[in-house]
Structure 1
Amino acid sequence: YQSRSFPSAYNLARTGTLSTSWDELLWAAITIGRPSTYHVFQHGPTSFHEAIFRLSLIRMAVEQNWHRHLQRTDAFAALDPTEKGMVSYFLGMTLCKLFSSRILNTPSLLHLDVFRPQLNPTILGRSRPDLVGENNAGKWYAFESKGRSSVPSSGDKAKAKLQAHRLVSIGGHPCTLHVGSFAFFQSDLLKFYWRDPDPDAKEPIELPRPGEEWRYYYEPGLSLASMLDEGAMALEHERADATVTIHPKIRELLEQGLWLQAREAARMLQDEFGSDGYRPDGLRVVAGESWSKSYDFSERR
């Protein structure tokens, strides 16, 4: 990965390699807080399918090579440009979430689209950041996350910079970082670039502090965990080869629909979560053995 223009206080390396695991990568994919394509229907099984869809995108897009680096699969290379764009966009958000959690101590991100019912859609528009997150110290960060099937151009990076600038505050608290990021493939290897440029906001966006919007963050994971407990969707679970468990103190709140309370409780319980093997949000995702094997494109066509 490459980091550019971050304040010196963050002490980010300009280049490096981030060591992760399939468990952590799948956790990032499942918990990107954005409205689901299934939300036009009832919640429950539809959120389960949304979670399976996210896992399937990761499985189809990347695999680990002999050097244990992530590379693109033959299946991804075979997609048409429109399909590559969709998968790359999701991969961009997943890596943005992963790096935000590991390097900026900001594990919980929400997509700006979850605020659409509260804001005039013309305010959000198309030229705006994708994600917003609050770190463990109460600082808010804005992220414009993009994905590319090849190395992004200087024009791509400049556009991401402008979009990240527009978000200026959440609940009256100013954004500390306005990050433009890219996940992309270079010589088939998965790479990541992010930059925090000096803010120069035009048409600024001010968001309310999220409350019920945290349902979009937790619902896919809760649905996966619930379906597994009920023994439902067995074939889908077998194909996904990943299990989700939720810390009892968080799950109790989620099952009551207390989304904000679950988020606030998670902030207070992170030390306990870590000692019990959970992520900072109270979820634990475990990838099966198949994730460490090459993706068999021929069996899935």
Structure 2
Amino acid sequence: MVALPPPAFEARYRTYAFPTGVINGGGKLSFNTDDLAHALVATGRAPGDRSRYGAASAYEWLHRVSLIPAYIRRNYHGRLTRSRLALELDRSELVGVSYALGQAMTAVFCRMELAVSHLLHVDRYFQQYGVQFNGRKRADLFGLSPNGWVVAEAKGRSRTMESELRGKLELQKRSVLTVCGAVPWLALGCVASFPIRDGGMELDAFDPEKAEPDALVIPGGADDAMLAYYLPFVTIIDLGASATDVGQQQLVVGDFGPLGVRVGLLRSIYQRVQRGAQERDMAGFSEDIQVVLREAPLAELGLFPDGTRVDTNWPDAVSVQDWSEDF
């Protein structure tokens, strides 16, 4: 479907108060529309439980992923900017775009800088297993890295980050005490913002150490979290038209042709997720997935570290020169 890889975006990031040796100072993220579309699957709040929601969660993802060709552009310098259409949205509409970008860019940052391979939304996990919680002050995302669980609070801002946001974000990202019985290895807050109206996106990430006294305990185990992570991918693939590329029989692929996007997953993981969801065959689920990922030729198949593949075909859309260079 995609002859050449999508052009890369660049976004500058700054980090504050991370533990020594984890990540310090700042730098640039290099990513593309495939990375953004993948992150929008992983961080979506809509669960993949078709017994209760039908295909609604997949349609919800299609709605969010369409924000990329509609509102995202790549300028001459490679920076991620917003389209003219995005800048003409009313405030409430622009807030929605900024929210989705904040979630997606937090996932991209965590995968590329912290090796978090499976980052999902807390709400999706809680809805999947009927977990109840008190209050609204909690982090958005959690996922597994080689060093342990990572908790992240994500924010998106259509302008510059307000001065008091860092304090609010620190409270939310400290709001998780344990994940599946383990203390998080790292908790961070991440803000994607546009300090200059027509300028490029920037990221700020914070990592204060102190935990809240009434912090949330995310129950369950790695098997439950892993199933909740993959269910939306399976739902989306099943909604699309079935497609198999030459030499790619190891993948199950859903094609959304006219929309310029397709989503794939290793066939062995797809089948294991189906067994877990339909037959409640959960014993050793997470370990089964990890074995598959260790043995599969992920790079050769062009897959993300979680065994998925998201291909987008929007080179013309994101390169349209409908933004200003006056910055």
Classify the TM-score, shorter chain: 0.7 to 0.9
CA distance 1:295–1:39, change in 2 (3 Å) = farther
Q: Report the Cα offset of residue 149 of structure 1.
A: 0.4
Matched, 1:248 2:260: no
Query: CA separation in 1, counterparts of 2:201 and 2:310?
Result: 22
Amino acid at match of 2:263: V
**TM superposition shift of 1:186:** 2.3
- 1:203 aligned residue: 214
TM-superposition CA deviations, 1:80-119 (whole Å, max 9, x none): 2222222211111101111111111112112221225544
Alignment of 1:1-301 (within 5 A): 1-10=13-22, 12-32=23-43, 34-36=45-47, 42-43=53-54, 45-113=55-123, 114-115=125-126, 118-122=130-134, 125-137=135-147, 139-187=148-196, 188-208=199-219, 209-230=221-242, 237-258=256-277, 263-271=286-294, 272=296, 273-288=298-313, 289-294=315-320
Distance change >3 Å, CA 217–CA 78, structure 1 → 2 = farther
What is the alpha-carbon distance in structure 2 between the residues aligned to residue 218 and residue 97 of structure 1? 15
- State TM-score, norm by structure 1: 0.85
Question: Would the aligned equivalents of 1:129 and 1:164 in 2 still touch at CA under 8 Å?
Answer: yes
TM-score by length of 2: 0.79
**Cα offsets for 1:200-236 (capped at 9, x unmatched):** 31311111135445454323332332333348xxxx9
- What secondary structure is seen at the aligned counterpart in 1 of 2:230? helix
Q: Which ranges of structure 1 fall in alignment gaps of 5 or more residues? A: none
Q: Which moved more, 1:113-122 or 1:15-24?
A: 113-122
Number of aligned positions between the proteins: 288
**Letter paired with 1:207:** I
CA distance in 1, matches of 2:59, 2:144: 28
Whole-Å separation in 2 of the counterparts to 1:206 and 1:48: 29
Whole-angstrom CA distance in 1 between matches of 2:213 and 2:267: 44
Which string of whole-angstrom CA distances, capped at 9 and with x for unpartnered residues, describes residues 258-291 of structure 1? 4966654343343522332211111111111445
8 A Cα contact 2:42 2:120, kept in partner: no
Quote the sequence identity (%): 26
CA distance in 2, matches of 1:69, 1:57: 17
Residues 39 and 152 of structure 1: is their aligned pair in 2 closer, same or farther, counting only changes over 3 Å? farther
Q: CA RMSD in A?
A: 2.7
What are structure 2's unaligned runs of at least 5 residues? 1-12, 244-254
Q: 1:290 to 1:47 in 2, by over 3 A?
A: farther
Measure, in 2, the Cα distance between the counterparts of 1:256 and 1:38.
14
CA contact (8 A) 1:165 1:201 kept: yes
Deviations 1:145-201 (A, max 9, x none): 111001112201110001111101112210122211101112221111111112131
Distance in 1 separating the partners of 2:287 and 2:146: 11
Distance, in Å, in 1 between the alignment partners of 2:66 and 2:132 is 33
